[in-house]
Amino acid sequence: GGVTAFATLAAVAEPACRAREHGVAVRTATIGVPADLRRAAPWLLGGAKTLSYAVNMASQRWAQSVGADDVLWLSTEGYALEAPTSTLVWQAGGALCTVPAEPTGILPGITARWVLDHAAQLDLQAHERMITPAELTAVDGAWLLSSVRGIAAIRTLDGARTRTAAEDTARLRELLGYPVRG
Q: Is the pLDDT of residue 95 over 60?
A: yes
Question: How far, in whole angstroms, is CA 21 from its chain's centroid?
Answer: 16
Q: What is the pLDDT of residues 6-32, one digit of tens each?
A: 888 888 888 888 898 999 999 999 988
Amino acid at 173: R
Rounded to the nearest 10 degrees, the angle between the axes of helix 110-117 and helix 166-176 is: 100
Sign of CA dihedral 102, 89, 148, 33: positive
What pLDDT is attached to residue 52? Answer: 60
Can you give the pLDDT at residue 41?
67
pLDDT the model gives residue 178: 85
Q: Note the maximum CA span of the chain.
A: 57
Banded pLDDT at 70 (limits 50, 70, 90): very high
Whether 180 and 18 have beta carbons less than 8 Å apart is answered as no
pLDDT value of residue 38: 66
* Per-residue confidence (pLDDT) for residue 39, from 0 to 100: 66
- As a whole number, mean pLDDT of residues 41-45 equals 63
Confidence of residue 135 (pLDDT cuts 50, 70, 90): very high
Instruction: Give the separation between CA 27 and CA 157, rounded to whole angstroms.
Output: 6
Is the model's pLDDT at 83 over the cut of 70?
Answer: yes
CB neighbours of residue 140 within 10 Å:
16
pLDDT, mean over the chain: 88
pLDDT for 127 equals 97
Model pTM score:
0.88
